């Protein structure tokens, strides 16, 4: 017993914390699964679908179940974002699939997970013809290919956008000129000048998310991509380039030099940044297309939501406007014993009917390109015309098996730079050294 205690003392606090998280997460997942699991009582074949289940999901599933009554029934295993972060969902699914359990048939995966989850996913090329693939947005389908195999199907898209308060901007004498620049993607240089001019109002000028998480990585990669620079060159991280320094300097300066963003951004993920922006009458916020719906779902209706206008994110002068694309893909477990039924459900989720329901009720951007060309539907939802064009400026995060490890390291250090706890140059050098030395992880 003494020896065991001595060994336990040698474990770092981080390691113990990680073990506790793993135990709690796995137990929570098992409880959620078996709470949702209903054993079949007739000839109806049940398939189990894991996702953050919204009302739009439930309505689509109810429609599918009605169409296949007595034959196939979809049951859900809900992993809500309110309880599980994206990384926690990833670890839960990875640990469950690693056990080769056949109780999960379909699960959603962040676009950047495809390379990691391919080992547990059913290859899909044999189920989808070339005509099937033609209805999928090409830039969405790219995230589903691993080693020249289709291992996933795009479910819905996401892309970084900026929202502004129209009622506040219209108080400026030259608001029409400002709105024109915003609609075309304003340069960061002009955006900062605008902020310095009107920031005396006391309202937050620009709110973005700089907590130590993937949202911060998205902002950083966008600033690199618009300068035609990537994280990696020749399989090695290149984080100390002039482009990288320029990108991080901007994020740091927005908070510490220009004072256009509150230091609180280092505490913000999406929802709390949205709440801060709305309740403090902010002028601009970096967000995702679902922001208004997400806000109402979390905090209730607020008349200020009706004043929001979405526009492209700013860009450096002389560079091209870009935005990180995201979204979630559908993957079928290779351990599923209901693959034909799972394929049937996945194909339904890609149908015009299902994609329209998901957009109308949940604001999920379609990955079925037919929706964007449906004149009747786009007349009802003209913002789809904006997204059809805007998605063309989208850029993907790197498709790497170890992307999560890399993101954890980089966001840890760039957040320290924004907090002024480390210089920009030191933060990027430390990130580069640790990413390239594959022994290191940030917990």
Does 297 lie in the same domain as 211? yes
Are 127 and 237 in a shared domain? no
Q: In percent, how much of the chain has pLDDT > 70?
A: 89
Same domain as 195, residue 134: no
pLDDT of 83 above 80? yes
Is the confidence at residue 243, as pLDDT, over 80? yes
- Among 170, 116, 192, 172, smallest CA distance to 147 is for 116
Residue 387 domain flag: no
Give the total number of structural domains in the chain. Answer: 2
15 vs 253: CA distance, rounded Å: 35
Using 50, 70 and 90 to split pLDDT, how confident is the model at 13?
A: very low
Whether the per-residue pLDDT at 356 is higher than 50: the answer is yes
Q: How far apart are the first and last CA of the chain?
A: 29
CATH number for the domain including 110? 3.40.190.10
Same domain as 359, residue 225: no
CA distance 66 to 9: 57
Range of the domain at 35: 2-157+326-378
419 assigned to some structural domain? yes
Same structural domain for residues 196 and 58? Answer: no
Please tell me the pTM assigned to this model: 0.84
**SS3 for 201-264, per residue?**
HCCCCEECCCCCCHHHHHHHHHHHHCCCCCCEECCEECCCCHHHHHHHHHHHHHHHCCCCCCHH
Q: Is residue 394 part of a domain?
A: no
Tens digits of per-residue pLDDT, 298-329?
A: 889 999 999 999 999 999 999 999 999 999 99
Q: Report the run of H or E that residue 77 belongs to, with start and end.
A: strand 72-78
Residue 363: inside a domain, yes or no? yes
Q: Is residue 386 part of a domain?
A: no
Domain check: are 235 and 263 in the same one? yes
Confidence of residue 442 (pLDDT cuts 50, 70, 90): low
Q: What is the four-CA torsion angle of 183, 188, 194, 197, rounded to 10 degrees?
A: 180
For residue 209, being part of any structural domain is answered with yes
Asked if residue 58 belongs to a domain, the reply is: yes
The torsion angles phi and psi of 428, rounded to 5 degrees, stand at -75, -35
Report pLDDT for 39.
52
* 229 and 150 assigned to the same domain: no
Domain shared by 311 and 423, yes or no: yes
Same domain, 192 and 82: no
Same structural domain for residues 90 and 183?
A: no
Residues 123, 228, single domain; the answer is no
Residues 119, 48 share a domain: yes
Q: How far apart are CA 209 and CA 274, in angstroms?
A: 9
- Residues of the chain above pLDDT 90, percent: 75
pLDDT digits 0-9 by tens, 181-190:
999 999 999 9
What pLDDT score does 153 carry?
97
Report the pLDDT value the prediction gives residue 3, as an integer from 0 to 100.
Answer: 47
Does 282 map to a domain? Answer: yes
pLDDT digits (tens, 9 = 90+) for 37-58: 555 456 899 999 999 999 999 9
Contact 110, 87 (CB under 8 A): no
What angle separates helix 424-436 from helix 242-256, to the nearest 10 degrees?
130
- Between CA 268 and CA 213 the distance in angstroms is 9
Confidence label for 136 from pLDDT (cuts 50, 70 and 90): very high
- What is the structure's pLDDT at 114? 87
User: What pLDDT does 9 receive?
Assistant: 46
Please tell me the predicted confidence (pLDDT) of residue 422: 97
pLDDT at position 17 over 90: no
């Amino acid at each position: 017993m003494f020896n065991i205690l001595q060994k336990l003392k040698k474990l770092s606090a981080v390691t113990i914390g990680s073990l506790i998280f793993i135990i709690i997460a796995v137990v929570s997942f098992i409880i959620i699964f078996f709470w949702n699991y209903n054993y079949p009582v007739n000839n109806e074949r049940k398939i189990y679908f894991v996702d953050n289940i919204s009302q739009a999901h439930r309505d689509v599933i109810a429609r599918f179940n009605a169409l296949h009554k007595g034959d196939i029934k979809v049951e859900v295993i809900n992993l809500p974002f309110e309880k599980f972060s994206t990384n926690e969902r990833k670890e839960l699914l990875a640990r469950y699939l690693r056990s080769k359990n056949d109780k999960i048939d379909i699960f959603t995966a962040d676009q950047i997970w495809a390379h990691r989850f391919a080992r547990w996913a059913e290859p899909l090329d044999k189920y989808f013809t070339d005509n099937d693939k033609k209805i999928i947005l090409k830039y969405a389908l790219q995230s589903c290919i691993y080693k020249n195999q289709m291992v996933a199907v795009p479910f819905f898209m996401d892309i970084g956008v900026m929202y502004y308060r129209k009622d506040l901007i219209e108080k400026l004498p030259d608001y029409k000129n400002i709105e024109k620049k915003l609609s075309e993607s304003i340069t960061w240089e002009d955006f900062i000048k605008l902020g310095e001019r009107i920031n005396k109002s006391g309202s937050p000028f620009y709110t973005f998310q700089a907590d130590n998480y993937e949202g911060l990585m998205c902002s950083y990669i966008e600033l690199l991509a618009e300068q035609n620079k990537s994280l990696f060159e020749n399989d090695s991280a290149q984080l100390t380039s002039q482009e990288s320094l320029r990108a991080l300097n901007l994020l740091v300066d927005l908070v510490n030099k220009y004072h256009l963003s509150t230091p609180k951004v280092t505490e913000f993920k999406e929802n709390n940044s949205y709440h801060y922006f709305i309740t403090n009458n902010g002028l601009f916020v970096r967000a995702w297309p679902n922001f208004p719906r997400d806000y109402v779902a979390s905090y209730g209706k607020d008349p200020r939501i009706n004043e929001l206008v979405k526009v492209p994110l700013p860009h450096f002068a002389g560079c091209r406007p870009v935005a990180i694309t995201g979204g979630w893909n559908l993957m079928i477990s290779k351990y599923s014993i209901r693959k034909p039924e799972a394929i049937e459900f996945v194909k339904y989720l890609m149908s015009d009917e299902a994609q329209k329901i998901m957009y109308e009720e949940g604001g999920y951007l379609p990955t079925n390109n037919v929706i964007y060309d449906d004149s009747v539907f786009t007349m009802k939802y003209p913002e789809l015309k904006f997204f059809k064009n805007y998605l063309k400026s989208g850029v993907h995060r790197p498709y790497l098996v170890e992307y999560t490890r890399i993101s954890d390291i980089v966001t840890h250090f760039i957040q320290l730079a924004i907090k002024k706890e480390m210089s920009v140059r030191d933060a990027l050098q430390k990130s580069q050294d640790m990413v390239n030395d594959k022994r290191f992880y940030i917990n």
